[in-house]
Structure formats: structure tokens, C-alpha cells
Amino acid sequence: MSIAALQDIERQLAGLYARQAEVLVDVASSKPHVDEYLILGTDRDDERSIRIEDAVREEVAAALRWAPPTAQARIDDARLLVGPLRAVLDCLRSGEITAQHARILTEVAQRLPGRWAEAGEDAETFATACAELMRRVLPVARRGTLSMTRQAAKRAVLAIDAAGEQRRRERARCTRDVWVVDELDGISTLSARMTTEHAHAVMAEIMRAAKTTRSAAAATPESGSWTIGEHRVHALAAAVLGGATSPDATIQAHIDVVIDLPTLAALRDASIDSSPADSGIAELRGSGPVSAAAVRDLLADPDVAVTMRRLVTDPLSGHLLDYGRRTYAVPQALRDFVVARDKVCRFPGCRRRADRCQIDHAIAWDDGGHTSPLNLGALCTRHHQLKSHGSWEITVSRADGSCTWRSPQGRRYDHDPPPF
């Protein structure tokens, strides 16, 4: 193998990405498509409208095992490449740029005025802006790194639409958020998307606190060997959770842990690789499996406040979990059970947390469906609407939370709740 072979592979990958973009547009259409449904309200007297944009994205997501938001982003990118960014697609097809370079241009193009306008002056403005973006950035992308291309794209946007800077800032404010990505070995990444000035102000305060605690902890056996990065992490946790002022102080924690009694008593350890009969269960609510030893250490610490729930089904719990046809509304005990069982939205590939979802009757109540674990499941708002109005159907719903879907194109997809 040689460097030339690596270059050839990269060109082939770029060409495949270009081809995939063209097929995505064939499947999803060149413009966003919105389905509108007029439905009766719960009292049957009023009407309300439901809008579902790009319902085809779930068909694409399920078939390719993409998360639905990923499918939407790829469809949006493809529409730009096949449309006003056609020159970028041509560069991809010839292998002059990589897929990563192309994504930078599509991301920046979506900030330009007139995006997705069907026709008229706005559409012409967007086409002109895209042409100018390519004129300024493509020469850099053809010969430069991703970082160089990103910087060129940022400069281009400011030059093309300087008057729209405030508009872009206001629109970007709606994307502010905080989220967690769970990794391996008991580590997760906490990310915050905020205004630039706030982000740098927060970082400056974290750096100040980290330097202070690093100096104070230099003589301690444990925290004296910490890296500056570990001190920064501790400073952030202390600022958010409160109470901790030094690296060796314990931070108060309020979390939900699901664990069975034998594991809690150290009679057996939890293992995600073993069968349920051979191992215990330990799970951090909203995260997933954790080591049983870590949970026991957490519970043994007098400075840590933990909410622990052992979730069992009738008859051990004493709760009635099957309400049959006596009520459409889902009682709280049953809702809590379904949320704990499903963990996430039960649509294939969706990872929306179940406690942020709606509880759906797989067989509709009006069609004779029961209010029971067998017929209930967590669905996020979009996938609940797609099931009710978008021709997606749950053909089989099971008491363990697993289910089978049939798509509008007749494809079958199975879903299983994430394991404990």
C-alpha cells in the first residue's frame, strides 16, 4: 500500500458520498415536504391542525439505521448539494474535496438568507449567496484542511451577509442547550451550547477556580497528582452542584439508581455480558449500565444523596399495572413502570428519553386497546404523530416493551428496549 492508494480511497469515498446525496434527494424530494392533518379535539367539538415535516426521514433512518435527526441533517445537506451547491457536489464526485469539506459548506449555507424559499426574490437571493460562498470557499477546500475551510467559510458568511449577523445570532440562540454523551469506562461528556461570550466567561471562571484548587491540593496524596484538566472538571462540578470547595471534598449528588437486592448486597455483580439469571442489575437513570461496585461505593458515602428504586412488577410491588378497559388515562404507577421499562422512545433508532415522551396505546383506545403494559409504550411527540397520522403502524406490542413496526413502504422493523 502507498500514499497514492490512500488518496485513491479518499476520492472513492467522496464520490460515494456525492452519489448518496443524489439518491437521498430522489427519495425525499428536492424541497422539504409538509403533511398537514386536521383532527378533532378530545371533546370532539373543536379542530386542530397537525403538521409533520419530511415524514420520509423516518423511512430513511430506519432503513439505514441512522438516528432520525441524523437522517434529516443528511437529507438537508443532500438538497443543498443537488441544488444551489451543485459545484460542491461536482468537486465531491471528482474527489477534489472530502465529505467533511462538503459538510462545512452545507452547514454554512443554511445560515444564508432565503434558505428553502420555493421561488421569487428570496430564492434568487439564496442562490446568489450560495454562488458567492462557493466562489470564496471552494478554492480553499480544494487544497486546504478542514480548519482552513471552516475559517474561510466563516469569513465568507460575514462578507456575503454582514447585515444578517444579528438575525443569525438571534436564530442561533434557539439552539442553546446542554446535553450528555455517555462514553466508556464510567466517563461521560457534558456539552453546553451557549453564546460565545458566556462560554468564554464560564471557561475563564473554571480556569481560575482550577488554578486555586490545584495550588491548595498540591500536598494531598490523591488530588495532588491530578492534571489541570481534572481540576477543571472538578471546578465545573463544584460550581453547578455546590458545596465542594476543594478537590478532595465530596459533591452532593441526586440521581436515580436501579439495582436489585443481591447486587446491592454484593452477593453478585452486575454484568451486561451475562444473562439476567447469572448477574445483577445496576443502572444509572438516563445513562445506562454502571458497575455494581461504583453503585455500592456511592450508596456507602454519607455525603451523597441518592434516590434508589428497585423496580418490580406485580405481585411483588403491590401495584396494579393492568387497568384493562376501565380507564384511557394512564395512572401514574403504570406510567412510571412503562418509562422505566422502555428507557427511550420505542421508535427504531430514536433515543429520546422515555420520561420526556408521551405514553401511547399501541392499539388505540377507540379501537379496543387496553391500558396495560402489553399495549403501552413511550413515544416522542413526532413519532407518536407519525404513528397516529403518518401511516407508521405498530403491528406487535409486547409486555417487555419490544415491538414491531410496519413503515408506510411496508418495511418491517423490530425495536427492543435498551437492556439493563
pLDDT tens for each residue of 305-364: 655 554 443 444 444 455 566 666 788 888 988 998 899 999 999 989 899 999 999 998
- Write down the domain spans for the chain: 3-168, 178-241, 254-309, 332-415
Task: Say which CATH topology domain 332-415 has.
Answer: DNA Binding (I), subunit A (1.10.30)
Say what the pLDDT of residue 221 is: 57
- H/E stretch holding 47: strand 47-53
CA dihedral 6, 7, 11, 12 (to 10 degrees): -30
Say what the pLDDT of residue 180 is: 86
Say what the pLDDT of residue 265 is: 59
Q: Which pLDDT tens digit goes with each residue over 248-261?
A: 555 455 556 665 55
CA distances to 24, 159, 188, 341 from 180, rounded to whole Å, are 30, 35, 7, 21
| Residue numbers in the chain where pLDDT is lower than 70 | 1, 40-46, 217-224, 243-296, 298-328, 420
Cis peptide preceding 315, ω within 30 of 0: yes
Say what the pLDDT of residue 117 is: 75
Sign, CA torsion 101/106/111/114: positive
Q: Indicate the pairing of strand 305-309 with strand 254-259.
A: parallel
From the list 125, 115, 229, 252, the residue with the least C-alpha distance to 171 is 115
CA dihedral 221, 227, 229, 231 (to 10 degrees): 30
Say what the pLDDT of residue 102 is: 97
Spatial CB neighbours of 29, under 8 Å, sequence gap ≥ 6: 56
Q: Whole-structure pTM over 0.75, yes or no?
A: no
Cα separation, 93 vs 214, in Å, equals 52
Cα separation, 160 vs 169, in Å, equals 15
Say what the pLDDT of residue 262 is: 62
